[in-house]
């Protein structure tokens, strides 16, 4: 396991981790981003998580991460150095990508959005245009034509919308969204009504926005779904041409591989 690479996506809700070995991609694990961490508690959480999965941290060769939460990124960097004995590399600080950033203010683009666009283009080089739809704390639509990141849309996230609705209303519960029916039905109780509304509402939003974005991009246009519920929504959402649940982690691996080939 000497060549094991740790890939980490620090989002607003979860810290997703994956161990990549030659010829194999490991299981994706997660820790809550909003936990109250110190360097030591985060480092110990990482060690405990690896121990459960039989990973000897002394055999890790490198770590690459992407973060949209600066405070947690700083803690993670120190925890890696103290507990994993690694000096992690981060995107975009330690990497450059061969993609034109067409955003009006390029520095405003979230690292996760730009990395998802880069990964989508590398994984799907044939279509002239791409739309990456990431279902995270927010739902983001990121558009690429040729090798240019064009920008996109930022919409509410499914789970954050559910939590906001439950906290802002007196009689609507915080429901589970586990499981997706293949056809919309008329809800006969509050929990079913809400679940149907959220799942099929977000599926319809995705279909409608992708259709509108397609009209502004030269074809063919290829749509990739990623993030928390992309796999579940793929059964009811007609917008997706492919689903890559961990596109950002794949993008980190692609960055590392390109850097290794150049060195």
Supply the residues annotated as catalytic: 112
- What backbone torsions phi and psi does residue 155 show, to the nearest 5 degrees? -125, 165
CA dist 72 and 13 (Å) reads 11
Q: Is the peptide bond before 220 cis (omega within 30 degrees of 0)?
A: yes
- CA atoms 165, 166, 171, 173: torsion sign: positive
Cβ–Cβ < 8 Å for 131, 99: no
**What is each CA distance from 48 to 16, 145, 154, in whole angstroms?**
15, 43, 35
CA dist 75 and 65 (Å) reads 12
Reduced 3-state DSSP string for 245-262:
CCHHHHHHHHHHHHHHHH
For the beta carbon of residue 169, count every other beta carbon within 10 angstroms.
9
CA dist 192 and 130 (Å) reads 34
- CA atoms 160, 164, 165, 166: torsion sign: positive
């Amino acid at each position: 396991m000497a060549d094991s690479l740790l890939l980490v996506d620090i989002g607003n809700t979860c810290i997703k981790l994956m161990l990549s070995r030659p010829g194999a991609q490991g299981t994706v694990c997660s820790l809550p981003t909003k936990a109250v961490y110190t360097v030591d508690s985060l480092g110990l959480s990482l060690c405990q998580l690896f121990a459960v999965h039989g990973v000897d941290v002394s055999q890790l060769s490198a770590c690459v991460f992407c973060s949209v939460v600066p405070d947690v990124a700083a803690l993670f960097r120190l925890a890696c150095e103290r507990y994993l004995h690694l000096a992690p590399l981060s995107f975009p600080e330690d990497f450059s990508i061969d993609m034109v950033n067409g955003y009006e203010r390029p520095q405003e683009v979230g690292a996760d959005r730009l990395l998802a666009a880069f990964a989508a283009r590398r994984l799907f080089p044939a279509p002239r245009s791409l739309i990456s739809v990431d279902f995270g704390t927010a739902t983001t639509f990121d558009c690429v034509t040729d090798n240019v990141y064009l920008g996109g849309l930022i919409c509410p996230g499914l789970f954050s919308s559910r939590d906001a609705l439950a906290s802002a209303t007196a009689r609507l519960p915080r429901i589970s969204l586990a499981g997706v029916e293949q056809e919309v039905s008329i809800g006969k109780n509050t929990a079913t009504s809400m679940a149907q509304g959220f799942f099929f509402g977000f599926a319809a939003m995705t279909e409608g926005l992708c259709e509108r974005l397609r009209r502004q991009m030269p074809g063919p246009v290829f749509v990739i779904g990623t993030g928390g519920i992309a796999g579940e929504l793929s059964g009811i959402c007609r917008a997706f041409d492919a689903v890559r649940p961990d596109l950002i982690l794949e993008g980190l691996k692609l960055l590392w591989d390109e850097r290794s080939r150049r060195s």
